[in-house]
């Protein structure tokens, strides 16, 4: 467990450098400020379990994907259905934001979660580390790419 956490922390520290991001948020550009506002609103809505507020932040053609497993959801309705499931299985008291930042040009943001919950089919618990990379355009989320740090993530969540 210590190695997994250590690896995650190292990845979190290196990721802003790899994608040209900063976590200090001191840029005054409109795009960066707007991206921070969208990211903050999205996290607040997620933590409140407010799927409708999350959906308001999406572009009409938003795409959610997990490239590792080939999962793709396109459009607000599909992504909102996924969000409803995510909120339903998430233990909000134990799920935490590990790190978050926005790119220097305001077009991307990264949120690293420690995600805890229980499977919807049998109630078995899951405990995962997840990174979500968001693409922003004109104050909306246009793309979300999800990656899990746990090789057994899909098995933990879906069996």
Q: Hey, where are the domains in the chain?
A: 2-158
pLDDT at 9 over 80: no
pLDDT band at 154 (very low <50, low <70, confident <90, very high): confident
Which residues neighbour 2 within 8 Å (Cβ) at sequence distance 6 or greater? none
pLDDT band at 60 (very low <50, low <70, confident <90, very high): very high
What mean pLDDT comes out for the span 97-112?
96
What mean pLDDT comes out for the span 94-102?
96
Q: How much is the pLDDT for 36?
A: 96
Give the alpha-carbon dihedral of 28, 30, 36, 41, to 10 degrees. Answer: 140
Share of the chain above pLDDT 90, in %: 70
> Chain-wide mean pLDDT for the chain?
85
86 and 93 in contact (C-beta within 8 Å)? no
CATH 1.10.630.10 fits 2-158, yes or no: no
Share of the chain above pLDDT 70, in %: 82
- Tally of CB atoms within 10 A around 9: 13
pLDDT tens digits, residue range 19-53? 444 444 443 469 999 999 999 999 999 999 999 99
pLDDT at 71 over 70: yes
| Three-class secondary structure assignment of the chain | CHHHHHHHHHHHHHHHHHCCEECCCCCCCHHHHHHHHHHHHHHHHHHHCCHHHHHHCEEEEEEEEECCCCEEEECHHHHHHHHHHHHHHECCCCCEEEEEEEECCCCEEEEEEEEEEECCCCCCEEEEEEEEEEEEECCEEEEEEEEECCCCHHHHHHC
Who wins on pLDDT, 5 or 65?
65
Who wins on pLDDT, 156 or 88?
88
pLDDT band at 139 (very low <50, low <70, confident <90, very high): very high
8 and 98 in contact (C-beta within 8 Å)? yes
Q: How much is the pLDDT for 68?
A: 82
């Amino acid at each position: 467990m210590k190695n997994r956490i250590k690896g995650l922390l190292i990845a979190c520290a290196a990721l802003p450098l790899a994608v040209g991001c900063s976590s200090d948020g001191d840029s005054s550009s409109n795009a960066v400020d707007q991206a921070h506002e969208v990211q903050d609103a999205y996290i607040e809505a997620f933590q409140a379990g407010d799927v409708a507020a999350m959906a308001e932040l999406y572009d009409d053609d938003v795409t959610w994907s997990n490239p590792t497993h080939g999962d793709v959801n396109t459009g607000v309705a599909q992504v909102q259905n996924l969000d409803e499931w995510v909120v339903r299985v998430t233990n909000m008291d134990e799920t935490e934001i590990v790190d978050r930042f926005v790119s220097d040009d305001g077009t991307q943001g990264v949120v690293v979660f420690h995600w805890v919950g229980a499977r919807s089919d049998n109630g078995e618990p899951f405990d995962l580390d997840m990174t979500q990379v968001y693409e922003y355009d004109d104050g909306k989320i246009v793309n979300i790419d999800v990656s899990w740090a746990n090789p057994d993530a899909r098995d933990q969540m879906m069996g």
